[in-house]
Chains A and B, each alone.
Chain A
Amino acid sequence: MNSIRKRDLAMLIFGLILYGAIQGMISEKIIGSFWQLNIILICVNVIMAVSLNLINGYTGQFSLGHAGFMAVGAYVGVVATVNFQLPLIAALILGALCAGALGFLIGLPTLRLRGDYLAIATLGLGEIIRIVIMNIEYVGGAAGFKGIPHLTNFTWVFFTMLFTLFFIKNFVNSSHGRACIAIRENEIAAEAMGVNTTKYKVMAFTIGAAFAGIAGGLFAHQFYLISPNSFTFLSSFNYLIMVVLGGMGSITGSIAGAFVVTFISAALASFPEARMIIYALALILLMFYRPQGLFGYMEVTNFAPIKKLLDKISGNKGV
């Protein structure tokens, strides 16, 4: 028990060091505004990918509407800060609650569907959310919501990301998380072992949606304007690619996936024609040679040298 706490602490310290290093480089202007923006986007995308991974990778429910929940979080967030002058933290929490509630309401009926059917249903729901927002004049309709204060910064996104990672990691490494994984592995056996499969599917979906809402709130306060077109089916698909690329069922994988995808898009920003081709080629090659994604089910803490190091720090022996 103590060893788990110490491992968490070790990872937290690592996170703080990483934060210090990047924040230092930002204040010293070693990182320019272009890469600063991309670092923020990476963190937002990590939140999106990890939360989608909980639904798609861990629980095995193929959802294609994640950008829809992000949109809910984003719009609720900007309404909270602009129209009600609430602080960012309140906007994020409100966005998470609304997106989570919507996830719950949508999940209850749709999670009865399986595989391709669920994918199509969630795809449709994501689009419905976007089109509904497009028709609400209160939030700017199709033209988008203008005049959003720039409240998001690296500190906010980094610590929210850290919180998300710990939340999902702790959830997955518990009886609740094991119930979700059991559903992915074999739904009939999971049910026979006493797992309320509907409850856990909806739970995973709701948690995933809530974190997408948080990511949406952070995303929105980075830009002056958001429009429904920031949350199309294509962006849902982009998050799915991050999850698949990194490995369905690996948090480390989602981090790596979000990083690689965002980094490639940024690095190739000056060659827009070549970008999609290289992107597609990379995916095809990956699926050929590593269909389970970069990490598969593995976490970075499972790799022998890192595991050894962590065990040494935490004084854990065996098991």
Chain B
Amino acid sequence: MAENKKPLLKAEDVSEVFGGLKAVADFNFYINRGELIGLIGPNGAGKTTIFNLITGVYVPTTGEILLDGESIVGQKPYEITQRGIARTFQNIRLFSELSVLDNVKIAYHCHVKYNLLETVLRMGRYFGEEDEITQESLKLLKIFKLDEHAHEVAKNLPYGAQRRLEIARALAAKPKLLLLDEPAAGMNPQETHELMEMIRWIRKQFDLTVLLIEHDMSLVMGICERIYVLEYGMIIAEGTPAEIQNNPEVIRAYLGTETVN
């Protein structure tokens, strides 16, 4: 299929300048439909900034970001979500006082069709859609092994479960592209392993394209098909996990310069 050849997301010469600081410089990359891509780099390299640029939290100083060949630069975060990009956050941002179920239900927001009148008078599409949202939310929670906690307050969940809930919530927005910002942060090796399996599984199940930022190399090397390495806002390497592991530039960026050989 010709359509599959066109990248789902493409960034062309994207730069972001904060005052005198160039957080991201001439960033170029693409993600094909169905790929699972990793974005790695030392702390402060600009990885989260790139997420914020893609999701519309920041507007690039220069450059273009194309989703399905259409520019999304200058669109509001909610518009970009409606177009099919959902994300999780590095520092968990759940609706912490609400129940686990409500957290997920909120994310169905952009797919709800019933209007204000139907809401207030409780007629028309209201019941059907609300019912569907609840059922689908419960299904999602089951996938993430959160169904038993559906009526608990989100902030009372253990850390790992909160991270899973963030992913479940992002999926409820029915994205084409899922951005995961350090999904394994704070997880133990066992949990990380389970997360890895889960990411693989949901990608297949929901027909997703995934871009993830991660510091846990076992996860990145284990599931990513292609990896971009970022340092000081610039891409210093790109390739398969095996290529990245042996790339001298990457080793230098992570371990520091040394005149070996």
Contacts and interface: CB of A to CB of B under 8 A. Distances in A.
Interface in B92-146: 93-98, 102, 105-110, 112, 114, 116, 119-122, 126-131, 133-134
Contacts of A116: none
Contacts of B229: none
Nearest to A163: B120
A185 B98 contact: yes
B34 to A, nearest CB: 23
B106 A4 contact: no
Nearest to A185: B95
A1 B131 contact: yes
A303 to B, nearest CB: 15
B160 interface: no
Nearest to B92: A189
A319 interface: yes
Given A178-B102, A181-B98, A185-B97, A191 B76 contact: yes
B63 interface: no
Contacts of B131: 1
A175 interface: yes
A51 to B, nearest CB: 14
B114 A175 contact: yes
Contacts of B94: 185-186, 189
A106 B111 CA distance: 29
A37 interface: no
A174 B126 CA distance: 8
B209 interface: no
Interface residues of B, number: 42
B78 A197 contact: yes
Interface stretch (B14-22, B25-33, B79-87, B214-222): B79-87
B119 A171 contact: yes
At the interface, is chain B mostly helix, strand, loop or mixed?
Answer: helix
Contacts of A188: 57, 89, 93
Interface residues of A, number: 30
Q: Which of the listed residues A170, A174, A192 has the most CB atoms from chain B within 10 Å of its own CB? A: A192
Contacts of B106: 178-179, 181-182, 190, 193, 195
A193 B107 contact: yes
Contacts of A203: 116
Contacts of A117: none
Nearest to A191: B77
B23 interface: no
Q: Which of the listed residues B81, B82, B94, B121 has the most CB atoms from chain A within 10 Å of its own CB? A: B81
B146 to A, nearest CB: 15
B119 A174 contact: yes
Nearest to B89: A189
B162 interface: no
A7 B173 CA distance: 30
A5 B122 CA distance: 9
A260 B89 CA distance: 42
B169 interface: yes
Interface string A158-182: 0000000001001100111111011
A155 interface: no
A182 B134 CA distance: 17
A174 B112 CA distance: 10
A272 interface: no
Contact of A167 (B55, B98, B120, B133): B120
Given A170-B122, A171-B120, A185-B98, A193 B109 contact: yes
A297 interface: yes
B108 A175 contact: yes
A35 B105 CA distance: 44
A188 B108 CA distance: 16
B119 A176 contact: yes
A196 interface: yes
20 contacts: A1-B127, A4-B127, A171-B116, A171-B119, A174-B114, A175-B105, A178-B109, A181-B102, A186-B96, A189-B95, A190-B106, A191-B77, A192-B87, A193-B106, A193-B107, A193-B173, A195-B78, A195-B109, A196-B76, A297-B97
| 6 nearest CB pairs, A to B | A194-B110, A185-B95, A194-B81, A1-B127, A189-B93, A175-B112
Interface of A: 1, 4-5, 8, 167, 170-171, 174-179, 181-182, 185-186, 188-197, 203, 297, 319
Interface of B: 55, 57, 76-78, 81-82, 86-87, 89, 93-98, 102, 105-110, 112, 114, 116, 119-122, 126-131, 133-134, 169-170, 172-173
